[in-house]
A and B are shown apart, each in its own frame.
Chain A
């Protein structure tokens, strides 16, 4: 009887301690200061012609591309995908084959969100198409686009992940 009680008490004390310890370690990891970020820029073309299917490379955007806001487009194809490494306040530029140029900067971290600056230049223009500062969850996704390009409209999916 006594060993049973001891075992129960031991488990009751040690288990919460282990769980709490693990949680505090995980929490410390989450709140570690973000000093850099890696961003994946996926450039794709949306066209009026197509069978409505979404290619495998753009499947991660399936839900967005099937939304009413994209209902005018029936064809989607990947133009290019690039990965950028950002340091704090050190912009990184993606010169894309389409002639567009995307400049991304990590401004910092605020309320566990990444604070970023994006500047998109069109070929042959001296002013940016769009220049924005935004906050987004780690590994969050921002879509920018709608400009005429080739036989459709070009979009940029920007997904960034903080690194400590």
Chain B
């Protein structure tokens, strides 16, 4: 008969199936004699407690998980993937040194207000002195009439910056303004519906959800 004492850690490892066959046999042998020999809480009692804890914890987690729709899990994984991608990108080599333009702006920052004021005054003075006339070949204008009234040879004009071209590609509909709509009246004829709001970083968006199920009374005025 063995006199070796088995610790709770070993019992826990035995419970989790993490012991080698030899260690497992040793614990089982100890357990066989433990019931009669031990004065304190027996090894079997400790094992029973571990089993109870596992069952309780497992049931609780399963109940929590059951409340989350499958699609939400997919979304959570997507978010984790994106976070990992961001983390990977953050560890990429540092960005190149700032451009000449950025450095010039940085140097001008301390004197920005006086420079802007002077430029504003100069612009106003030039406009007043010239009587509002636009110099020939000025690239500041974009009015078709002015261009049409000057059919003579046009001086070479530098190509427009890429940023301006991108903005002008969709002049009518820029990124939508994310603010809630105020629904004054709504009627779901024979259908069910509800009004929801999606809160995001850029603001809130109103969503009118229309269900396919027929409803007895579908009108709602606000």
- Whether B175 and A18, one on each chain, are in contact in the complex, defined by CB atoms closer than 8 angstroms, is no
Would you call A132 an interface residue if the criterion is a C-beta within 8 Å of the partner chain's C-beta atoms? yes
Q: Contacts A11-B117, A71-B69, A139-B174 known; A64 to B207 CB distance under 8 Å?
A: yes
In the complex, which residues 167-222 of chain B have their Cβ closer than 8 Å to any Cβ of chain A?
A: 172-179, 181-191, 193, 196, 198-202, 205-212
Q: Contacts A10-B121, A72-B69, A74-B74 known; A60 to B181 CB distance under 8 Å?
A: no
- Whether B75 and A145, one on each chain, are in contact in the complex, defined by CB atoms closer than 8 angstroms, is no
CB distance from A149 to the nearest CB of B (A): 10
Measured CA separation A152–B173 after assembly (Å):
27
> Interface SS of chain A: helix, strand, loop or mixed?
strand
- Whether A128 and B177, one on each chain, are in contact in the complex, defined by CB atoms closer than 8 angstroms, is no
Task: Identify which of A69, A73, A129, A135 contacts B181 (C-beta below 8 A).
Answer: A135
CB distance from A47 to the nearest CB of B (A): 11
In the complex, which residues 36-92 of chain A have their Cβ closer than 8 Å to any Cβ of chain B?
A: 38, 40, 48, 52, 60, 63-64, 66-69, 71-74, 83
Would you call B137 an interface residue if the criterion is a C-beta within 8 Å of the partner chain's C-beta atoms? no
- Whether A132 and B182, one on each chain, are in contact in the complex, defined by CB atoms closer than 8 angstroms, is no
CB distance from B215 to the nearest CB of A (A): 12
Would you call B59 an interface residue if the criterion is a C-beta within 8 Å of the partner chain's C-beta atoms? no
By a CB distance below 8 angstroms, the chain A residues around B121 are 10-11, 14-15, 18
In the complex, which residues 120-155 of chain A have their Cβ closer than 8 Å to any Cβ of chain B?
A: 120, 127-148
- Whether A73 and B208, one on each chain, are in contact in the complex, defined by CB atoms closer than 8 angstroms, is no
> Interface SS of chain B: helix, strand, loop or mixed?
mixed
- Whether B200 and A63, one on each chain, are in contact in the complex, defined by CB atoms closer than 8 angstroms, is yes
Task: Identify which of B179, B187, B207 contacts A132 (C-beta below 8 A).
Answer: B187
- Whether A148 and B198, one on each chain, are in contact in the complex, defined by CB atoms closer than 8 angstroms, is no
Name B residues whose Cβ lies closer than 8 Å to a Cβ of A: 69, 71-72, 74-75, 78, 114, 117-118, 120-121, 124, 172-179, 181-191, 193, 196, 198-202, 205-212
11 contacts between A and B (CB under 8 A): A11-B117, A63-B200, A63-B201, A64-B205, A71-B75, A130-B193, A133-B183, A133-B184, A141-B177, A143-B206, A146-B193
Name A residues whose Cβ lies closer than 8 Å to a Cβ of B: 10-11, 14-15, 18, 38, 40, 48, 52, 60, 63-64, 66-69, 71-74, 83, 113, 115, 120, 127-148, 159, 161
